[in-house]
Amino acid sequence: MDHPEQDPHLVVKDPADPATRAAARSFGAAASVYGTARPGYPVEAVAWLVGDARRVLDLGAGTGRLTEALVALDLDVIAVDPVEEMLEELEVQVPGVPRILGTAEDIPIEDASVDAVVAGQAWHWFIPERAVPEIARVLRPGGTLGIVWNSRDTSVGWLREAGEIMHERHDASASFEAYVNVGRPFGPIEEHRVDWVERMSRARFLDLVRSRSHWITAPPAEQRAVIAAIETLLDTHPDVAGAEELAVPYVTRCFRARRQ
């Protein structure tokens, strides 16, 4: 099984590293802004991800962006996340969904109890050699593991410059396959891609910047400098200067495999 630390361009070099685990949990400090700023998922992508599943576990559910899409498809959803503040925000965003504190490496539900396990913007935080057997344990035979990422389309000039200002790691949309090969007891990986555009206000885009783990964990002076530089970019780049609403292009990459 390929491991993220083998590729220096991936989002997370080593999910087991204490600094990485701390960064993952840093999102609790910005749960509210994360919940309102981060984009959702296209219905087409989510429907493909879960296939014919009815009972779905959203693993690393965060504030519920993927949970919301699953509920909209009239699925029976359980949300699991290691950060209590994120689950509290999920209750605000998607009321009534069962919320459980837990991790991909220690999922607190019964064996063979769900039809699908999905992870949105989360797989790169998991420790695959421990998470894969645990996911297989909670899945029914023939159940689906679905993994999805939203990536901003950085072929667009102003977004590429914004990513550089945010000190964003390579967005990894071209590199996910390097560690989506989950291996046994799962079968071959299928892939699906959806290109779409999220329209958002300038203020929401700035909140999107504030929801990034690098910004959350940066010193206050660096946080202020990043926001000031993004504001300057939005004021001066010819593609977005003066715009109150921004058209932010996204690529949603979906991967799924069946438990054999």
Q: At what angle do helices 157-165 and 220-236 cross, to 10 degrees?
A: 160
Structural domain count, the chain: 1
User: Is position 51 within any domain?
Assistant: yes
The enclosing domain of 66 has a CATH number of: 3.40.50.150
Residue 238 lies in a domain: no
Range of the domain at 119: 4-152+169-198+249-258
Residue 208 located in a structural domain:
no
Least confident of 19-23, 39-43, 239-243: 19-23
Q: Which pLDDT value is given to residue 222? A: 93
Tell me if 142 is assigned to some domain: yes
The 10s digit of each residue's pLDDT in 196-253 is: 999 999 999 998 888 877 788 889 999 999 999 999 999 999 999 988 899 999 999 9
CA 161 to chain centre: 22
For residues 103-122, give the mean pLDDT: 96
CB < 8 Å & 24+ apart, contacts of 212-218: 212/166, 212/168, 213/23, 213/24, 213/26, 213/27, 214/166, 214/167, 214/168, 215/166, 216/26, 216/27, 216/29, 216/30, 217/23, 217/26
Residues 173 and 147 sit within 8 Å (Cβ to Cβ): no
Burial code (b: 16+ CB inside 10 Å, e: under 16) for 174-200 equals ebbeebbebeebbeebeebebebebeb
pTM of the model: 0.77
pLDDT in tens, 154-187: 889 999 999 899 877 544 445 566 668 789 999 9
Residue 74 within a domain: yes
- Is the bond preceding 185 in cis, omega lying within 30 degrees of 0? yes
Rounded to 5 degrees, what angle do the CA atoms 175, 255, 110 make?
Answer: 125
Q: Are 23 and 213 within 8 A, CB to CB?
A: yes
pLDDT, residue 144, reads 98
Residues whose CB is less than 8 angstroms from the CB of residue 238 and which lie 6 or more positions away in sequence, other chains included: none
Q: Is 80 helix (H, G, I), strand (E, B) or coil?
A: strand
Q: Which residues of 138-152 are buried (b: 16+ CB within 10 A; e: fewer)?
A: bbeeebbbbbbbbbb
In a domain, 104, yes or no: yes
Strand 55-59 relative to strand 245-258, pairing = unpaired
Q: Is residue 230 a part of any domain in this protein?
A: no
Report yes or no on 175 lying in a domain. yes
- Average of per-residue pLDDT values in the chain: 84
168 with 209: CB under 8 angstroms?
Answer: no
| Distance in angstroms between the alpha carbons of the first and the last residue of the chain | 17
Angle between helix 84-93 and 65-72 (nearest 10):
40
Q: What is the CA radius of gyration of the chain?
A: 18
184 contact partners, CB below 8 Å, separation of at least 6:
260
DSSP-derived pairing of the beta strands 190-201 and 245-258: antiparallel
